[in-house]
Amino acid sequence: MSPRRASAVVVRWRGGEEIDRCLQSLLRHRGRDLERVVLVDSGSADGGAERLAAAFPDVVVVALDSNRSFAFAANQGVARTDSPCLLLLNPDAEVTDGAVDALTGALAKRPDAAGVVPLLVGVDGAPQHRWQLRRLPGPLRLATGRGGASQFHGRPPTEPALVEQPAAAAWLVRRAVWDALGGFDESFAPAWWEDVDFCARLRRHRQDTGAPATGFWVVPGARVAHGGGSSLSHLADAEFLAAFYRNLLRYAERHHPGSCTAIRAILLLSLRSRALLRPSRRAAYLAATTVIGDR
């Protein structure tokens, strides 16, 4: 088997027609290296799994009974493949012509790399690098409820570059690395922070094993169009904020245990202040404080 061969795994939870465009783009622009496309329906219970299985007979559709977590669904999808490279793609993303082969080719040229990522662009063509390509967050940013700082503040990179924590909207990762880390941590439910945790565990794994491997590289020549928020629209504001901050604290407890008390205290103060300043989201912010206080 060629080391460049890849399987794509897409996780869907409800959403609309963006998943059709995603699958169409994968099949149309699969190139020479993409050998399988797996769609995992994470308990959507809307008939979508059946419809998509009929509409896309070349796609392996896995229908889960419930939405345990994005991480669980992604792990289930990976388990249905045996390719040496794994292309993880959000359902609101569309690969462009040549993107898959550009990614697999770039990974083949960097045998020490854990994975590579494309540049994400919006549906209007605007680059999303400030949101996509980040550094791992430290205690201060966690305490203020933020992810890592953008690694590229100005224009997007024009040459391949190491990225500490690329968003998992589009990853090409080596199966050997995925297996060594055990995939995504399924306790980050229903979603958010599982990709940050993976990158932090990757860095620790390299340090603990002494391996000379690097992390993820961005490949500017590969482009993926990304809409954003296809599943988020189906969550109430309070549900989203509760899950986001609960998983932020889960990440902090694992990777910054000595700072957790301070992180929790500052987060509580910040959320209570936001509840006063933004009455329209008061209930959602207060719901998040309850989650934080219960941990």
Would you say 170 and 90 are in contact if contact means Cβ atoms under 8 Å apart?
yes
98 with 113, same domain: the answer is: yes
Residue from 59, 65, 69 nearest 7 by CA: 59
**pLDDT at residue 229 in the model:** 60
**pLDDT at residue 150 in the model:** 97
Mean of the per-residue pLDDT values for the chain?
93
Rounded distance, CA 151 to CA 163, Å? 7
Question: Domain end: 213, 229, 245, which one?
Answer: 229
**pLDDT at residue 215 in the model:** 93
- Helix then strand then coil, in percent of the chain rounded to 5, is 45, 20, 35
38 with 167, same domain: the answer is: yes
Backbone CA torsion sign across 96, 100, 102, 106: positive
Rounded distance, CA 151 to CA 248, Å? 20
**pLDDT at residue 212 in the model:** 57
118 with 180, same domain: the answer is: yes
44 with 110, same domain: the answer is: yes
**pLDDT at residue 259 in the model:** 97
Question: Domain end: 181, 201, 229, which one?
Answer: 229
Bridge partners for 64 per DSSP? 42
Which tens digits make up the pLDDT trace of 117-168? 999 999 888 999 999 999 999 999 999 999 999 999 889 999 999 999 999 9
Burial of residue 198, with CB atoms counted within 10 A of its CB: 0-12 exposed, 13-18 middle, 19 or more buried: buried
Number of domains in the chain: 2
89 with 39, same domain: the answer is: yes
Rounded distance, CA 190 to CA 49, Å? 19
Question: Domain end: 229, 258, 285, which one?
Answer: 229
CATH code, domain carrying 204: 3.90.550.10
The SS3 of residue 33 is coil
**pLDDT at residue 78 in the model:** 98
Neighbours of 295 (CB within 10 A): 12
Would you say 195 and 164 are in contact if contact means Cβ atoms under 8 Å apart?
no
Q: How far is CA 158 from CA 8, 104, 219, in A?
A: 25, 18, 8
Rounded distance, CA 287 to CA 274, Å? 12
204 with 240, same domain: the answer is: no
Flag whether 1 is in a domain: no
**Residues 6 or more apart in contact with residue 125 via CB below 8 angstroms:** none
The DSSP 8-state label assigned to residue 280 in this structure reads G
257 with 189, same domain: the answer is: no
Segments forming the whole domain that contains residue 108: 6-229
Please work out, in degrees rounded to the nearest 5, the angle formed at the alpha carbon of residue 109 by the alpha carbons of 108 and 111: 70
**pLDDT at residue 292 in the model:** 84
* Positions of the chain with pLDDT lower than 70, given as ranges: 1, 210-213, 229-234, 294-295
Q: What is the phi/psi pair of residue 166, to 5°?
A: -75, 145
Neighbours of 84 (CB within 10 A): 17
51 with 167, same domain: the answer is: yes
